[in-house]
Amino acid sequence: MADDIDRAQQQLAQDIADATSGEDKQLSLKVRELGEQLARLLSGLLRMARMHALTNAAFDAPVSQFRGILRELWEMLGTVNLVCVEDQVYVNDVRIRFEMSAEHVESLADDLARHGVGGISFNQVLEEVDVRKLVELFHELPPEDAPPRPTLQKKLAEAGMVSMELHGLFRFKVQDEVARSLDRDYALLYTMAVAVVGEAFTNISADRLPNPIPVRRMINELIDAAKLCSTADLATDHDRTFTPLARHTMMVVDLSLLLGKAAGLSDEVLADLGIAAAFHDVGSAMTDGGYPVPYERHATAGLRALMRQRGFHQAKTRRLLAVAEHHNPFESERGRPSLFARIIHIVDDYDLMTRNRPNEGPVMAPTDALARMIKVSGTVYDPVLLQVFVNQMGMFPPGSLLALASGRTVVSVSGARSPETFAKPLCHVLRREDGTPARKGTYVDLAEEDRIFKLLRPRPERATGIDNPKTATSWMPDR
């Protein structure tokens, strides 16, 4: 038993040492300190407004201080989120310890809550006149005949403060609630993830310190939710209203997690992989001297941006490597890329070849993309990982358009369900034998019936004598 205690003590020491090396203590202390000042000043200003007119000189100093602190926080973190939840105050996920009495916390929360506001996002720095206006508007009584928060938001916009966002009342989110929401729809989670990753991109592109924790939490949820999903769920572009970069990033995240899991990576490692995938193209959001970074340098631009995060951590090391190397070939005189980079390289290129581009459609069919990748397996792509990926996606990955022998036109909605059904996916019927649109929700399992006549391609494909469906006409599918 003494050995168990010794081992535990050594492991505890190591864990604490690792945590310490991954800390950016300066940043943490600074955020807490400034956040506390910000919240206290706002609370104080709102209380003063009950007693004095806003033109009173007593407001000058605290208004100026508020603006200064907001600027400092914004320059460090980007959007500053001040949230009152139950009896706590948070600034950008950091819980503020009030040295004052709880009465001040309650007062701030009450002043916001009477307008139906639980939190404020400051997306830009405010001028002093804006701060006074903010205090004035919060001091006013909310309307009796209109919803208070939208009314206040509108007044702020009319006063020129379009960069401020008012949020409704909050409550703590407890874990088992998350399970219930995820049961509904992976697509919903995908949408939430876009918001979180997008905010991270925005902050990083504005030269602020990267903060991976919100993204990590999101990725953890995706990993757990993916256990209930099929390959097709993960390999589907859930929302085409998002920008190309957003859709591509999320697809790379999803497919990286799919490939990583199939390769046997643990959840803990998958979480790190997911974050690396989320940030793999962050360099595309950067600018160089005010101009967009050229595509050829987006990897190093991403590396440069993410290096601003301080603290040594193995996840960070692997993430930076992945961002820097994700276009490097498997065999290279620069050495073999890291594991995460090799995974992301495969799924990144796959998506770039198969995604539906605005006004263009996909470059090629998924089958052709995989076939081309297999040809350079071992030189451009990691052969083991690529084969795992092919085994998961099947001969006709989700999204493949097929003409069946029966005359039906279908789209694949499954990956390979087994080695035996590698080339026989489950399909959603688009058109009947006679060419008319099929009833919604009609499926055909090619493992059970019918057979593939032809792979329908978006563009002419040169056949090279391999046993794949021969050239089709150029065709833009009507989905």
Applying the rule CB under 8 A, the residues between 332 and 351 that interact with another protein are 335, 338-339, 349
For residue 54, the minimal CB distance to another protein (Å) is 26
Interface residue with another protein among 195, 207, 407, 433 (CB under 8 A) is 195
Of 54 and 246, which has the nearer Cβ to another protein? 246
For residue 125, the minimal CB distance to another protein (Å) is 14
* Neighbour tally for 362: CB within 10 Å: 22
For residue 205, the minimal CB distance to another protein (Å) is 6
Interface residue with another protein among 58, 100, 179, 405 (CB under 8 A) is 179
172: left (phi over 0), alpha (psi -120 to 50) or beta: beta
For residue 440, the minimal CB distance to another protein (Å) is 25
- Helix, strand or coil for residue 210? coil
Chain Cα centroid distance, residue 441: 30
For residue 310, the minimal CB distance to another protein (Å) is 6
The conformation of residue 195, written as its DSSP 8-state character, comes to H
Q: Which stretch binds another protein (CB under 8 A): 92-100, 129-137, 406-414, 445-453?
A: 92-100
173 makes contact with another protein (CB under 8 A): yes
Q: H or E segment at 217?
A: helix 213-226
CA distance 16 to 20: 6
CA distance 385 to 258: 11
Per-residue tokens: 455: 């792979």
Q: Which stretch binds another protein (CB under 8 A): 61-69, 208-216, 405-413, 438-446?
A: 208-216
CB 66 within 8 A of CB 152: no
159 makes contact with another protein (CB under 8 A): no
For residue 409, the minimal CB distance to another protein (Å) is 22
Of 289 and 441, which has the nearer Cβ to another protein? 289
Strand partners, 80: 122
Interface residue with another protein among 213, 405, 407, 449 (CB under 8 A) is 213
Q: Report the site for another protein in 5-44 (rule: CB under 8 A).
A: 5-6, 8-13, 15-17, 19-25, 27-28
For residue 145, the minimal CB distance to another protein (Å) is 19
193 makes contact with another protein (CB under 8 A): no
Q: State residue 93 phi and psi, 5-degree precision.
A: 70, -5
CB 83 within 8 A of CB 167: yes
365 makes contact with another protein (CB under 8 A): no
CA distance 310 to 24: 6
CA neighbor of 385 nearest in space, from 261, 283, 277: 261
If you write DSSP's letter for every residue of 307-368 in order, what string do you get?
TTS-S--HHHHHHHHHHHHTTS-SS-TT-PPPHHHHHHHHHHHHHHHHS-BTTTB-SS-HHH
CB 133 within 8 A of CB 141: no
* Neighbour tally for 177: CB within 10 Å: 11
Number of residues binding to another protein, judged by CB under 8 A: 151
Interface residue with another protein among 137, 159, 363, 472 (CB under 8 A) is 363
For residue 47, the minimal CB distance to another protein (Å) is 24
198 makes contact with another protein (CB under 8 A): yes
304 makes contact with another protein (CB under 8 A): yes
Q: Report the site for another protein in 379-438 (rule: CB under 8 A).
A: 380, 384-385, 387-388, 390-391, 394-395, 416, 419, 422
